Amino acid sequence: MKTRRIGPFEVSAIGLGCMNLSHAYGTPPSRDEAAQVLDGALNGGITLFDTAALYGFGANEELLGDLLAPHRERIVLTSKCGMQGVNGVRVIDGRPETIRASVEASLKRLRTDVIDVLYLHRLDPQVGVEDSVGAMADLVRAGKARALGLSEVSATTLRRAHAVHPIAALQSEYSLWTRNPEIAALEACRELGTSFVAFSPLARGFLGGKLRDVSLLEPKDIRRAMPRFAPEHYAANLKLLDGFEAEAERLNCAPVTLALAWLLHQGEHIVPIPGTSKPEHLWALIVAARLQLDRATLGRLDALINRQTVSGARYSATTQTEIDTEEF
Write out the catalytic residue numbers: 55
Residues 18-46, buried b or exposed e (16+ Cβ, 10 A)? Answer: bbbbbbbbeebbeeeebbbbbebbbebeb
| Cα–Cα distance measured from residue 197 to residue 46, given in angstroms and rounded to the nearest whole number | 14
CB 84 within 8 A of CB 122: no
Considering only CA atoms, give the Rg of the chain: 19
DSSP letter, residue 175? B
Find out whether 66 and 38 touch, Cβ atoms under 8 Å. no
The CA distance from 85 to 120, in Å, is 15
Question: What SS3 class is residue 294?
Answer: coil
What's the distance, CA 173 to chain centroid?
A: 6
Q: How far apart are CA 298 and CA 265, in angstroms?
A: 8
Non-local (6+) Cβ contacts of 308 within 8 A are none
Report how far Cα 136 is from the mean position of its chain's Cα atoms.
20
Best CA proximity match to 243, nearest among 310, 307, 178, 305? 305
SS3 183: coil
What does the alpha-carbon distance between residue 180 and residue 153 come to, in Å, rounded to a whole number?
Answer: 11
Burial 125-153 (b: 16+ CB within 10 A, else e): eebbbeebbebbbebbeeebbbbbbbbbb
Q: Report the distance separating Cα 137 and Cα 118, nearest Å.
A: 10
Q: Is 85 helix (H, G, I), strand (E, B) or coil?
A: strand
